[in-house]
């Protein structure tokens, strides 16, 4: 579109750029501003940070109270750490399950490959909420898992999984597994099979070839997949809310309660900003590997 010239180019670039700028990036600026406001009993429920006085002077009525509150009230620190830990271990299990799955798909014949990919994709696109709900049917006290185990005589009392942290782990692993498999498959598929053949010709065992060739070359996929699971899992709300116990304080749930329960919007804004700052690192890593993979 060289002949289109610069002005016409902007007809294509500007709509998505402006839309995402206004509705994705600018909201963070507003959240940042409101995180310095105070909660108030009117609509909207917070004070103005920037106030024009009657004599046309701009007055900044900012308070650091919300951030101070985050640091002094233990709940937030504990919730952050707990969410990070939960997401971390769930990501590890997803990786342990997802890697062999992606490997098996990458090794399958082409025709089978696309069917298998669709099989993995299908749950990923169907309702997240309903899948979490469906899991409840398996793990609740009188659910399928307990019924089967009781019938087999392996246990004599139903296992209590629902409303425990184990249920949250199972929920995250079950819901996010496809997110891990797809990027891993994308890198494993690109792997040149002649490299492995060369290794085999040179007398390397399949395991050594895997360790020395396949594994190092699949690192970008491992990182992209792990980030795709880890980052959303840290902020997960639906899973801890539906499957976790009342004392499962993941940060997503704390935020939700702050907002809908306590109606303290400025504190919720401060929590979001602090949360976002913690996620900037992982998101940057994800972007870096993602862009590199797209442009490879």
Residues 6+ apart with CB under 8 A from 90: 169, 172, 173, 176, 229, 233
Query: Per residue in 61-92, is it b (16+ CB within 10 Å) or e — as a string?
Result: eeeeebbebbeeeeebeebbebbbebbeebbe
Q: How far is the CB of 147 from another protein (least distance, A)?
A: 8
Residue 46 or 165 having the CB closest to another protein: 46
Residue 2 or 56 having the CB closest to another protein: 2
CB 203, CB 237: distance < 8 Å: no
User: Which residue is associated with the tokens 């310095």?
Assistant: 36
Q: How far is the CB of 73 from another protein (least distance, A)?
A: 18
Q: Helices 74-107 & 65-72, crossing angle to 10 degrees?
A: 80
Q: How far is the CB of 71 from another protein (least distance, A)?
A: 20
Q: How far is the CB of 43 from another protein (least distance, A)?
A: 9
Please count the helices (runs of H) and the strands (runs of E) in the chain: 15, 2
Residue 65 or 191 having the CB closest to another protein: 191
**Rounded Cα distance, 220 and 211, in Å:** 15
Residue 232 or 245 having the CB closest to another protein: 232
**Rounded Cα distance, 168 and 204, in Å:** 42
Q: How far is the CB of 121 from another protein (least distance, A)?
A: 7
């Amino acid at each position: 579109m060289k002949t289109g010239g610069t002005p016409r180019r902007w007809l294509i670039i500007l709509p998505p750029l402006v839309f995402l700028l206004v509705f994705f990036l600018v909201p963070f600026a507003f959240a940042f501003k409101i995180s310095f406001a105070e909660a108030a009993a009117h609509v909207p429920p917070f004070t103005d940070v920037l106030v024009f006085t009657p004599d046309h002077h701009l007055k900044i009525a900012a308070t650091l109270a919300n951030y101070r509150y985050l640091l002094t009230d233990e709940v937030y620190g504990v919730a952050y750490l707990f969410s990070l830990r939960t997401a971390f271990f769930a990501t590890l299990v997803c990786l342990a399950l997802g890697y062999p799955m992606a490997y098996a798909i990458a090794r399958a014949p082409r025709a089978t490959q696309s069917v298998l990919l669709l099989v993995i994709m299908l749950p990923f696109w169907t309702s997240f909420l309903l899948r979490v709900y469906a899991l409840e049917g398996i793990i609740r006290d009188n659910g399928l898992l307990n019924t089967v185990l009781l019938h087999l005589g392996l246990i004599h009392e139903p296992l209590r999984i629902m409303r425990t942290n184990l249920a949250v782990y199972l929920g995250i692993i079950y819901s996010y597994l496809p997110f891990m498999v797809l990027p891993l498959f994308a890198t494993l598929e690109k792997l040149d099979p002649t490299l492995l053949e060369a290794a085999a010709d040179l007398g390397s065992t399949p395991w050594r070839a895997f360790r020395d060739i396949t594994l190092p070359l699949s690192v970008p996929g491992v990182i992209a997949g792990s980030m795709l699971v880890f980052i959303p899992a840290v902020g997960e709300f639906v899973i801890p809310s539906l499957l976790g116990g009342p004392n499962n304080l993941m940060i997503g749930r704390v935020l939700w309660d702050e907002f809908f329960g306590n109606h303290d919007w400025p504190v919720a804004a401060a929590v979001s900003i602090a949360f976002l700052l913690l996620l900037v690192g992982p998101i940057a890593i994800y972007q870096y590997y993602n862009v590199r993979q797209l442009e490879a």
